[in-house]
Amino acid sequence: MVRGFQYRFYPTRAQKAVLAKTFGCARYVYNWALNLRSTAWRERQERIGYSRTSAALTELKRLPETAWFNEVSSVPVQQSLRHLQTAFVNFRQNGAEYPSFKKRGNRQSAEFTRSGFQWDGNTLTVAKIGKLAIRWSRRFSMHPSAVDLSRTPAGRYYVSFRVDEPLDPMPAAEGAIGIDLGLTCFAALSDGSKHEAPRPLRRKMAQLKRAQKALSRKRKGSKNRNKARIRVAKIHQKITDVRRDFLHNLSTRLVRENQTIAVEDLNVRGMMTNHSLAGAVGDSGWGEFVRQLQYKCEWHGRTFVHIDRWCPSSKTCSACGAVVDSLPLDVRAWTCPECGVEHDRDINAARNILAAGLAVIACGGDVRPERRSRRKGSRRRSTNRLVACA
């Protein structure tokens, strides 16, 4: 299994200068090749692939005005063309967006294959950069196939190792859990527990506003503007760190304690288009949480189930299966009109998600509500039942 191990490293002043040149050359080649391919298609309806851009790059390096390419390793420069080719393949075949130009103020990265670094199991030496002072937090046993050096807008340096190594699954667990994601409560579990999100963006919003206002007053291109930009980037970095730590801790705990995990398939991208909800939805990190649950379940031999988003998990009584006609969002607790059981809205939804997930595992297919016809003039009473399989 191909896994990634990321660590923070602390370059010297001389290494920072070489890294800046390496990032700049990789970014320049990516933008240059993207402009070359886009212009060829726009003007002549001609597609240019990786081989032609590679040959053009060779000619570009021979020019006197581009002699600065010799100051950095050629490996990350060549890898930029491969990354661009991958971006075009994803655009044409996988529905991704059209490749965009890279900017200096965003995250910078450079990838080194095996010909561009040396690894002896303890130290990493990169071509033209030298030995890196890495802050080790965990170790891996296999030789890395690629190394990625990156710098965040906040000024942090990271090294990522791509390693193909076997992964031992966790011991089998007895539990099964259903998870209902929400804004009022981040995750309500079918066992009755709730987990509140830290909401780091909302907590840092006042500080972020002041920093962004100070940034907007600085003259473009000045050193003070760059200092203000770094202050804003550091606040965003802290927000990301808090959110990522919470999501990793919760997802790892759920995967360790449960053999089966069922989650509702939410349309996060669609909800992000709603300006009233976008800030809260983005701050919660639903999409990243589900992604972590899914790949961790694959790693450790767990069963992960996506439930149909149209399944009425909140409106269905987990005790008798009756479905109420309507349940406004401001109603956080309700009583079933059929059996009289009182429900917490989120926990009841989590229990229904778990039941639907177990039914999908047993029978396969989607879980959708079965609608029963009513006669005209009869008293409106919900008689729907959640049907997972016939």
- Active-site positions read 180, 264, 346
Strands 258-264 and 303-307: parallel
> On the CB side of 135, how many CA atoms lie within 13 Å of its CA?
8
- Which alpha helices (DSSP H) does the chain contain, by range? 13-44, 50-61, 74-93, 200-216, 223-257, 268-272, 278-284, 286-299, 345-363
3-state SS of 189-225 is ECCCCEECCCCHHHHHHHHHHHHHHHHHCCCCCCHHH
Residue 2 pairs in a beta bridge with 164
Q: Which amino acid is at 388?
A: A
Please enumerate, as own/partner, the contacts of 191-194 that have beta carbons within 8 Å and a separation of 24 or more. 192/347, 194/346, 194/347
Q: For residue 140, which phi and psi values (nearest 5 degrees)?
A: -130, 160
* Under 8 Å between Cβ of 255 and 249: no
Per-residue CA distances from 305 to 168, 241, 284, 301 (Å): 22, 28, 21, 13
Those residues with Cβ within 8 angstroms of residue 375's Cβ, 6 or more apart along the chain or in another chain: none
Residue whose pair of structure tokens reads 């961790």 in the numeric block: 296
Those residues with Cβ within 8 angstroms of residue 201's Cβ, 6 or more apart along the chain or in another chain: 208, 239, 243, 279, 282, 283
Per-residue CA distances from 33 to 37, 148, 255, 312 (Å): 6, 21, 43, 49
For the chain, the helix, strand and coil percentages under 3-state DSSP, each to the nearest 5: 45, 20, 35
Task: Compute the distance between CA of residue 181 and CA of residue 346 in angstroms, rounded to an integer.
Answer: 8
Per-residue tokens: 38 = 């886009």
